A and B are shown apart, each in its own frame.
Chain A
C-alpha cells in the first residue's frame, strides 16, 4: 500500500519568515495530494491540494509543489504569522481503487515565534 513520509516533525520559524514542509510517497499510482492544518483540539482542515497533472499551485501565502518523478511534494508558507502555528499533515491518494482513502504523513508541528 501507500506510504507517506513527512519531514520535519517540528519546525520553528520567526514571524515573517518562510516555512517549508516536505513529503515523499511510495505509490506511483497516487495522483491527489492534499494538505491539512490541525489546530490544537480541532479536526484537520484542508488548506490546499494538488493533482498529479500540475506541478505547482498557489493560494495567497500558501503554495504546494509536486515532483512526480521523484515522488515528493512540498508545502510552502510565506510571510508566516502566529496563527499559522498548528500541525500540518500531507496526504496522498491513488487514482484507482474504490475506497478513495487518504494515506497521511506523520505531521509537522509548526510554531511561528512572534
Chain B
C-alpha cells in the first residue's frame, strides 16, 4: 500500500516548456487535490477533483490544467512554464477515514519544480 505517489520528485524547466506532474493513489479515494507551497504562503489549492472524470478550479488555477481520467490518477499540467511557477507541488487524496471519524488527507511526498 503505497498511499499517494508523486512523480517526478524534482524537475528543472526552461521558461515556455511544458510538463505533466503525475499523482497516483492506491486507496480508492474519491477526492484528489493539487496544492503549491511557497515560502510564507502555506499550501494553496490549484485544482481539485471530487471523482473520476471531474475537475474544478481552486484558489490559484491560472497557468495549470488537470485531468482525472482514472480514479487513481490526477495529472497536473503546465502548458507554458513561467518562473512564477517555481514551487513545491503537493498532491493529496481524501476520503472517509473510519479511524479518524472524518475525511482524512493523505499527502504525496511533493515535487520540487524550478523554472528558469
Contacts and interface: CB of A to CB of B under 8 A. Distances in A.
Interface of A: 1, 4, 6, 9, 32, 34, 42-46, 49, 51, 89, 93, 98-107
A102 B44 CA distance: 9
A44 B43 contact: yes
B104 A46 contact: yes
Contact of A43 (B41, B48, B58, B90): B90
A48 to B, nearest CB: 11
A93 B42 CA distance: 15
Q: Give the dominant DSSP class at B's interface.
A: strand
16 contacts: A4-B42, A9-B40, A43-B90, A43-B110, A44-B43, A44-B90, A44-B107, A45-B107, A46-B104, A93-B103, A99-B48, A101-B94, A103-B45, A105-B42, A106-B42, A107-B42
B19 interface: no
Given A46-B104, A49-B102, A51-B102, A100 B42 contact: no
A57 B45 CA distance: 27
